[in-house]
Structure 1
């Protein structure tokens, strides 16, 4: 790979609003996917060795530049100066339920949390962390799941990377019974 291709990758990754797949990057620099992947991994190693203020990471099925965690407090204060971007505890709880039980209806989320969740789900949809992924056959209720942005913010490539919590959540039969009672 040549310096021009490396520079082109850096330029693309600096402006990319979301992780970019190796396939798209390879097409952009007119190289094979294997060569592009090797170059990305080489760049990742070099940035780490140089102790730069940014990192190149693979997340959500693609590659993207991120600020180095060593500077998280400084960057966080800079970015959030004068605004509140954090999720509330109810939003975080709801997001966790959706992440682990998706696809899931609002009624099922409410049954697990024991409170009304409509406004919290709307907030999560507005922030792009969850989306409607379908409807139930029986009632037509919306089914919600997490988005690629959720994976990106969590630094994961797939939901398989979530910590195992299944023993602590009710199974589908219990949720269906609770949902029926709520109607």
Structure 2
């Protein structure tokens, strides 16, 4: 009678003792691939270079581990000659199309997208033209709406391009391109029509845009 309870008590801890290490090992094994996938997902959605410390905070991983992961991805993409590459620019990382395929991209942008610009795109382009170099945030403030998607369209059409970074915020600044001038039949930005008679003074616009951002 006393043997049965003793045997049962002895048997109960055994499954827990055997099972405990296995889930822990699975979690550890899944961490690198999970972190890699999450890192790639983040890099695919950002429109500006993202710093390693920001990636580390988003992933909940140590900065040193993220630095190793992101450099490993960049090396892997280069080794496999993928159509895109991971570059470290302006203090952060961003995915770019590989320069080897620039002719294909150019044919697609120039020859495959001749649809007319939307009103939103035209308004955004006008803000860039008259306020350049200007960040996406400032353009959004002036227009009062998010312009991320529209800016991507303008960049893909070759009408707008990156023109440096802001010295204080580090945000990418955008400027119009030579293609923009060609489409408007201008030789320089000096030939753009003056807006002074139709718009408030430039400092008033700055105050309005700063007020929106606050």
TM-score for the superposition, normalised by structure 1: 0.50
Name the larger-Rg structure: 2
Q: Higher relative contact order at CA 8 Å, sep ≥6: structure 1 or structure 2?
A: 1
TM-score for the superposition, normalised by structure 2: 0.43
